[in-house]
């Protein structure tokens, strides 16, 4: 990667974070670093044949837990990156209340995961790509900010979205290609 491209990319990220801070004053620069880490986990998941979603739970710059989707490997319908990371964080910290932690995840959480995030009492959530088919953090539902629930958490979507969307599109394009070639045989 050329130095000019990297400088432009970092400039765009700083500008994006500045705009996001107007709407989400709780956001910090390490949210971007943690999203980058989540994107790396998503790439690893894709290489293993899993839907490329990665999640990182962190406290400041300290990574508490991280995970990628593992539904295919574990045959677990609840093997979403968010839930696996929440379990690991709870085990590591010895508590289920994660009120001093945030999560960065590469895809807008589904209703199951959004409910778990609320129950874990996270202090914030940042996600990359919006999910028009199952998104429960503003797209189809808005579970983390539902006033009827006993806990709410600040959320911000769209952080490094083009990169996450690109991973998802490439994964499903390849999967559709494999299905076509199997059906033609």
Would you please indicate which residues are annotated as catalytic (active-site) residues? 82
Residue 55, exposed/middle/buried by CB under 10 A (0-12, 13-18, 19+)?
A: buried
d(CA 150, CA 159): 27
User: In degrees rounded to 5, what are phi and psi of residue 70?
Assistant: -140, 25
58-75 CB burial, b ≥16 within 10 A, e <16: beeeebbbbbbbbbeeee
60: left (phi over 0), alpha (psi -120 to 50) or beta: left
């Amino acid at each position: 990667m050329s130095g000019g491209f990297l400088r432009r990319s970092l400039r765009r990220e700083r500008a994006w974070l500045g705009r996001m801070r107007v709407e989400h004053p709780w956001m910090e620069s390490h949210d971007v670093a943690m999203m980058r880490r989540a994107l790396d986990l998503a790439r690893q998941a894709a290489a293993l044949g899993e839907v490329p979603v990665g999640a990182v739970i962190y406290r400041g710059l300290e990574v508490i837990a991280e995970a990628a989707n593992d539904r295919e490997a574990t045959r677990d319908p609840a093997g979403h990156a968010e839930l696996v990371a929440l379990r690991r964080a709870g085990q590591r910290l010895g508590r289920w209340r994660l009120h001093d932690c945030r999560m960065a995840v590469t895809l807008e959480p589904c209703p199951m995961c959004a409910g778990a995030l609320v129950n874990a009492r996270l202090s914030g959530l940042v996600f990359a790509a919006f999910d028009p088919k199952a998104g429960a953090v503003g797209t189809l539902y808005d579970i983390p900010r539902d006033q009827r629930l006993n806990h709410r958490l600040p959320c911000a979507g769209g952080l490094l979205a083009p990169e996450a969307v690109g991973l998802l599109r490439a994964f499903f394009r390849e999967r559709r290609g494999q299905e076509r070639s199997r059906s033609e045989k």
